[in-house]
Amino acid sequence: MGLKRICGWIIRKKSIGRIIIIEVSSDSVKPSVLVLKEEREPELFKLGMEIDIGTALCFEGEEAPEQRSARGVEYIARKIEVYAKPIEPLPVDTMGKVPALLDTRIKYRWLLVRNPVEKAIFIIRNSLLNAAREYFSKNGFIEVQTPKIVAAGAEGGATLFKIQYFENDAYLSQSPQLFKQMLMAGFTRVYEITPYFRAEKYNTTRHLNESWGIDVEQGFINSVEDVLQTLENLITYIIEYVLKNNKEELEILGATLKKPSTPFKRLKFQEAVDILRSEGLEISETEDLSDYAEKKLGEIMAGKGYELYFIVGFPWASTGFYYMRDEDGVYTRKFDLDYSGLEIASGGQREHRYEKLLNALKEKGLNPENFSFYLEAFKYGMPPHGGFGLGVERLLMRMLNLENVREAILFVRDRTRLVP
């Protein structure tokens, strides 16, 4: 099969008499296993005795004709080049034999990705984003980039991070919402893979202050159903892509990812309220569902065979100003997508008519002058349009059955973490 050159870090070393077994973590999820025999390669055996866990090296070798290791691919080494040795013992066990607390995992994530389990999460995250881009490319979407320093928030002031922008006040972007809508004046389909910055003072297993999302907007729609269909197709495409391309990673994680059943259930907001009230929960008809209510609803829907389901028709009182209202004025064409009791996406049909949008801003107590840049885009032939934002970490969390959203992002930014 010829020589291969593999570079990585030693995560495990074991001596058995005149044999040394070295496991090297590289870009593959499973380690490469070097078996050094004193009688076969005395010089390499001597080198193997001197190097330790944490060493960065490259080796050239060929796959062993007899594969005995259950942990990875076994190689017979012909050459080993050592690039760096650790100057002190590693602060964490990169092999994973000694379990680390979540705080420790977060602190040393950059080091722990040498571990197959930790590495598998982020290889699958990479596949998730690859699959999304592949889906959009096949379906006529243009990738765009919108500002992350903004003059006004898309969702209001309470969750904005304020910054000083020369002589002016500015904010970190909560969402590309306003900008992707403006682009509907010239493109018919756009998407962006983007960070969100939200100053929410939560410290739950499902909240981050810097997270990533897949944002979509599409124009010339017939109804909100066009947007629901795009999101449903995207989720299905991503999961099928991971099932096909990440079998080893899923196996290492022990994740039982299932192909979604389509179409996803469409559940009206009022129906969700009635279901939860029948379970004894106090639920408002004019406010968004709480985290607890979402979780409870997920348990109920799971009992009915629904893992992924849309909640549609939210009350105007609980939505952003940009959502299109139904004729009754009470409900809107906003939706959420929940995955086993966790909201992973939110979106809907937007209001594209200038006068109605202007009135909506005023009704929400917002100053139209602060949104003049946005409103101008609606003066020159804005078509009916809609879109959504899909949380990358939340989707990954549910796909892999992770307990905390912090496990799904390499560097965590929450209420207590600004480093590393």
Q: Which pLDDT belongs to residue 286? A: 84
Please confirm, yes or no, whether 353 is among the known catalytic residues.
no
Helices 392-399 and 116-138: angle between axes, nearest 10 degrees: 120
Q: Which pLDDT belongs to residue 156? A: 60
Find tokens 């709480």 and name the residue.
290
Please confirm, yes or no, whether 198 is among the known catalytic residues.
yes
Please confirm, yes or no, whether 223 is among the known catalytic residues.
no
Please confirm, yes or no, whether 352 is among the known catalytic residues.
no
Annotated catalytic residue: which of 343, 351, 393, 407? 343
Distance CA 420, CA 289 (A): 34
Distance CA 160, CA 163 (A): 9
Q: Which pLDDT belongs to residue 285? A: 86
Q: If we measure between CA atoms, which residue out of 116, 337, 323, 157 comes closest to residue 230?
A: 337
Task: Give pLDDT < 50 ranges for the chain.
Answer: none
pTM: 0.95
Please confirm, yes or no, whether 207 is among the known catalytic residues.
yes
Element (H, E) at 59: strand 56-63
Q: How does pLDDT run across 336-389, given as a tens digit for each residue?
A: 999 999 999 999 999 999 999 999 999 999 999 989 999 999 999 999 999 999
Please confirm, yes or no, whether 343 is among the known catalytic residues.
yes
Annotated catalytic residue: which of 12, 207, 350, 398? 207
Annotated catalytic residue: which of 12, 352, 394, 406? 394
Helices 392-399 and 224-245: angle between axes, nearest 10 degrees: 50
Q: Which pLDDT belongs to residue 420? A: 94
Answer yes or no: are the C-beta atoms of 4 and 89 closer than 8 Å.
Answer: no
| Full set of structural domains in the chain with CATH | 4-89 (2.40.50.140), 116-147+175-408 (3.30.930.10)
Annotated catalytic residue: which of 200, 210, 240, 248? 200
Answer yes or no: are the C-beta atoms of 74 and 67 closer than 8 Å.
Answer: yes
